[in-house]
Structure 1
Amino acid sequence: MTDDNTPNRCRIILISPPGIAAEAFATKFAAAIAGGDVASVILPPYEMDEASYQAFAERVVPMAQAAGIAAVIVDDTRIAGRVKADGIHIEGGKAALAEAVENFQSRIAVGAGGVKSRDDALELGEERPDYVFFGRFGYDNQPEAHQRNLSLGGWWAEMVEIPGVVMAGSSLDSVATVAATGTDFVALSAAVFSEGVDPSEAVQRANAILDETAPRFEPAG
């Protein structure tokens, strides 16, 4: 989403949660993206085998793309190609990232994760990915964002031009804390997709929090 209605501040990236079937997630995802602006969705494989992961992606990727939302596959470049994903997220370190950048970045976005330290982030940044992700999929089980992710995300936003993504906590109250780091994107999973949460209301509220609290970015150029 790059039209004039794109917010000029931290935006939402949704992360599919662990342990959910494709159809159940599709229902929640449809509700979530009806709630307001979402930049992209990342689909980790968690414990799925290759066939199950591809079936999951085949269900969700077209929904995202029809709504103008970039769909990102994690680590499996073959599945990314088969489902015509918009991006590939690499958790496997610098060599795997370098290979993905060389082979795929001319056609789709290539993001980097698995960061545990500033040195990790800088090493991955040398490969010029499209973003660097601070956090671990499926570990947003505390209300607040992990302090290490906040610290790394804030440092990255201040020092490096490559966009950053910071994983929020399980409470929407953590959205403002993440945005305050100056990061480009806040990643939400449990805060939107947990049992008892209305995904549409959650995304609507998250965007309202960002509208109220997130720093505005300087125009490009």
Structure 2
Amino acid sequence: MSQPDPVRPRLVLVTTPLGDAEAEDRLRAALSGGDVASVIVDAAGRDSAAFQRLAELLVPIVQEAGAAALIADDTRCAGRVGADGIHLTGGDLEALAEAVERFQPKSIVGASGFETRHDALEAGENLPDYLMFGRLAGDQKDAPHERNLELAAWWAQIVELPCILMGGASLEALDEAIASGAEFVALGAAVFGPGVDSAEAVRRANAMFDAALPGAKA
């Protein structure tokens, strides 16, 4: 099987590791570090009221930086805060089809949770704006999960619909994600983990994208 054409991926940030007290400052820092395509705002165990407050705080920051703000799994919250779209994590074909019908093209609709080739292809038939391989909190190890790397590489080669690959917890393994050919790489702990300089992490990730694929199309 031939490798996918080189694509200079773009960065997606996942807020899952952020606590309430640090969320605003660390997100602002990350967004100051360079190109970010979108930010997925995740409840990460918060109740609906706490998540609403978090989203109200973070969505304008994301949009002011020129990135797309996506709300995970809560369409009502997404509407109330004026988010740019929603991200469904449940791997539910019926829910994805309903969201595409209800919210596109005004809002971005993406999804994750489809963990086999067959399921991913079925999900893609609903024409979301993207599919993501990996869980929002799936970056517990330094490197991306091997299954997600394989799915992203396969998908990028045969399907025009863009994909996001959930990266690992360390930028030291970012080259593996870049090599998959995925159009977007999502990072959570690698940018927002304890002791991480979030701005520097985003700068470094973008530098690695540029260095790994000089001249590749973004």
Q: Do they fold alike, i.e. is TM over 0.5?
A: yes
Separation in structure 2 between the aligned mates of residue 133 and residue 32 of structure 1, nearest angstrom: 21
- For 2:35, the aligned partner's letter is D
Q: How far off its partner does 1:174 sit? A: 2.0
Separation in structure 1 between the aligned mates of residue 32 and residue 117 of structure 2, nearest angstrom: 36
Aligned to 1:52: 50
Matched, 1:148 2:147: yes
Separation in structure 2 between the aligned mates of residue 88 and residue 98 of structure 1, nearest angstrom: 13
- For 1:85, the aligned partner's letter is A
Q: How far off its partner does 1:141 sit? A: 1.2
Q: How far off its partner does 1:76 sit? A: 1.0
Decide whether aligned partners of structure 1 residues 106 and 35 sit closer, same or farther in structure 2, where only a CA change above 3 A counts: same
Q: How far off its partner does 1:218 sit? A: 5.2
Separation in structure 2 between the aligned mates of residue 138 and residue 25 of structure 1, nearest angstrom: 16
Separation in structure 2 between the aligned mates of residue 94 and residue 161 of structure 1, nearest angstrom: 19
Matched, 1:35 2:50: no
- Bigger CA drift: 180-189 or 12-21? 12-21
Q: How far off its partner does 1:139 sit? A: 2.1
Separation in structure 1 between the aligned mates of residue 215 and residue 72 of structure 2, nearest angstrom: 29
Gaps of 5+ in 1: 1-7
Deviations 1:89-139, CA, capped at 9 Å, x for gaps: 112311000000000012110001112111111111010000000001112
Separation in structure 2 between the aligned mates of residue 50 and residue 95 of structure 1, nearest angstrom: 23
Decide whether aligned partners of structure 1 residues 134 and 191 sit closer, same or farther in structure 2, where only a CA change above 3 A counts: same
- For 1:84, the aligned partner's letter is G
For the aligned residue pairs, the C-alpha RMSD in angstroms reads: 1.4
Residues paired across the two proteins, number: 211
Runs of 4+ in structure 1 deviating by more than 4 angstroms, as ranges, are: 215-219
Using the size of structure 1 for normalisation, the TM-score is 0.92
Separation in structure 2 between the aligned mates of residue 79 and residue 214 of structure 1, nearest angstrom: 38
Gaps of 5+ in 2: 1-6
Deviations 1:21-54, CA, capped at 9 Å, x for gaps: 1x41111011111111100000111211111111
| Structure ranking higher on relative contact order (CA contacts 8 Å, 6+ apart) | 2
Q: CA contact under 8 A between 1:133 and 1:164: conserved in structure 2?
A: yes
Q: How far off its partner does 1:170 sit? A: 0.6
Matched, 1:64 2:88: no
Separation in structure 1 between the aligned mates of residue 186 and residue 173 of structure 2, nearest angstrom: 11
Q: Aligned to 2:202, what secondary structure does the other structure show?
A: helix
